[in-house]
Amino acid sequence: MTGKLSRRSFSTTLLGGALAAAHIRRAEAAPVTLKLGHATFEAHPFHDASLRFKKAVEEISGGQVKVQIFPARQLGDVKELMEGVQFGTVDMTVNSSSALATTVPAIDAFQLPGVTRSYPHFARLAASPEAKAILQKLEPHGMVGLGLYDGGRRHFLTVDKPVRSMADFHGLKTRVAPSRLFLDMWKAVGVNPTPMNYGEVYSALETGTLDAVEINLTSIEAEKYYEIAHNVTLTGHYFWPGLLLINKRRLEKLGAEQQKAIREAADRVVEPQVLTVKALDDRLVTSFKERGMTLVEPSEAFEQNFRSAVQPVVETYSKKDPAIAAFVAAADRLPSGA
């Protein structure tokens, strides 16, 4: 009898295990829809990055992971989206890296002036172990950094007159994103840096609260700043990275194959997204000129003076965290050409 009971128990155990395994497979296979919010309008590269990620993850997962996109601050502005992902009220975002620097100071590496020298260089850096090591620092804060995209190289937009020399920067009330790095950098350049939320910039330029804004060409177009400010100095001082973030607990609750698809899709999007922004910038330069805007190509002397002004900031921040120093070293090591 003991033997029969043991066989029965063994069969029951096998059946229970099979049922449990089937339940796990069903749970992993259950489709999921993730809500992804960002703060920019649909003409902006962050929306393009979101669309590319959506397409890639839905293809790779065979529809097991779907993405619903909420552009134009529908789920909150930059800071609110970052906090939403951190605390789990928003699943995902493509958000400015500057919004995260107070949480993970090493993220400042991505926007040190002059470190990233071209769009192909940005794409290589975004895929580097040094960049991924910085993104991993987000995980103790409830977020997983899946990818590093680009919103466009930053330039200098003014309302009244174009900036043609370093002296022209002096005292200009200039919007910067709320970040210690940007305050330090732009004080070194000589402007009066004014931290301000992204959604407030248009009215501030319109009312004269601001004289200028350091901004990417795609945002000038998407936010229609060209209606008020007509002068762009093509300083190209740093890029505007967008981090693809997901709430850590939300990701970990998904099936293994779903998680794999999300990570693979995030990586797949980087290079084509970044190079698309380069092509868009080239078209916008032509378009802005055709609309009568003044676009200033800095002289070699101007560029050298600008680099000299901001280099102490790069050196200071490189000493703050070994991860920043490693990223700067990677930038020096990786080719910057096409």
Q: What backbone phi and psi angles, to 5 degrees, belong to 195?
A: -65, 135
Q: Is the pLDDT of residue 3 over 60?
A: no
For residue 113, give the nearest of 218, 3, 236, 233 by alpha carbon: 236
pLDDT at 9: 52
Nearest Cα residue to 30 out of 210, 257, 338, 206: 257
233 in any annotated domain:
yes
At residue 206, the pLDDT reads 97
pLDDT of the residue at 165: 97
- As a whole number of angstroms, the distance between CA 271 and CA 55 comes to 15
Mean pLDDT of 225-253: 97
Query: Is pLDDT larger for residue 28 or for residue 228?
Result: 228
State mean pLDDT over 41-67: 97
The better pLDDT of the pair 191, 28 is held by: 191
Q: What does the pLDDT read at residue 29? A: 56
- 3-state SS, one letter per residue, for 271-334: HHHHHHHHHHHHHHHHHHHHCCCEEECCCHHHHHHHHHHHHHHHHHHHCCCHHHHHHHHHHHHC
**Average of per-residue pLDDT across 61-67:** 98
Nearest alpha-carbon partner for 238 in 310, 135, 147: 310
Q: Are 198 and 186 in contact (CB under 8 A)?
A: no
Average pLDDT of span 276-289? 96
Task: Indicate if the pLDDT at residue 25 is higher than 50.
Answer: no
Q: What is the mean pLDDT of residues 309-319?
A: 98
Contact of 84 with 245, CB cutoff 8 Å = no
User: Does residue 6 belong to any structural domain of this protein?
Assistant: no
Mean pLDDT of the chain: 92
Could you tell me the pLDDT band of residue 27, with boundaries at 50, 70 and 90? very low
Residue 151 pLDDT > 70: yes
* Residue range(s) defining the domain that contains residue 143: 31-330
Residue 129 or 222, more confident: 129
Q: What is the CATH number of the domain that holds 191?
A: 3.40.190.170
Taking only the tens place, the pLDDT of each residue in 163-172 is 999 999 999 9
5 inside domain: no
> What is the pLDDT, as a whole number, of residue 295?
98
71-116 tens-digit pLDDT:
999 999 999 999 999 999 999 999 999 889 999 999 999 999 999 9
Tell me whether residue 335 is in a domain: no
Task: List, in sequence order, every beta strand (DSSP E) within the chain.
Answer: 32-37, 65-70, 92-96, 143-158, 173-176, 192-195, 212-216, 231-233, 239-247, 294-296
3-state secondary structure of 185: helix
Q: Flag whether pLDDT at 13 surpasses 80.
A: no
pLDDT at 2 over 90: no
Q: Mean pLDDT over residues 309-330, rounded?
A: 98
CB atoms within 10 A of CB 205: 22
Look up residue 321 and give its amino acid.
D
Question: Is 23 a domain residue?
Answer: no
Q: With 0-12 CB in 10 A as exposed, 13-18 as middle and 19+ as buried, what is 228?
A: middle
Q: Give 133's DSSP letter.
A: H
Q: In this structure, are strands 92-96 and 239-247 parallel, antiparallel, or unpaired? A: antiparallel
Is 254 part of a structural domain of the chain?
A: yes
- Per-residue pLDDT, averaged over 35-56, amounts to 96
Q: Are strands 92-96 and 32-37 parallel, antiparallel or unpaired?
A: parallel
pLDDT above 70 coverage of the chain, percent: 91
Residue scoring higher pLDDT (9 or 33): 33
Overall domain count for the chain: 1
Is the pLDDT confidence value at 328 over 80?
A: yes
Flag whether 10 is in a domain. Answer: no
Per the model's pLDDT, the better-predicted residue between 5 and 284 turns out to be 284
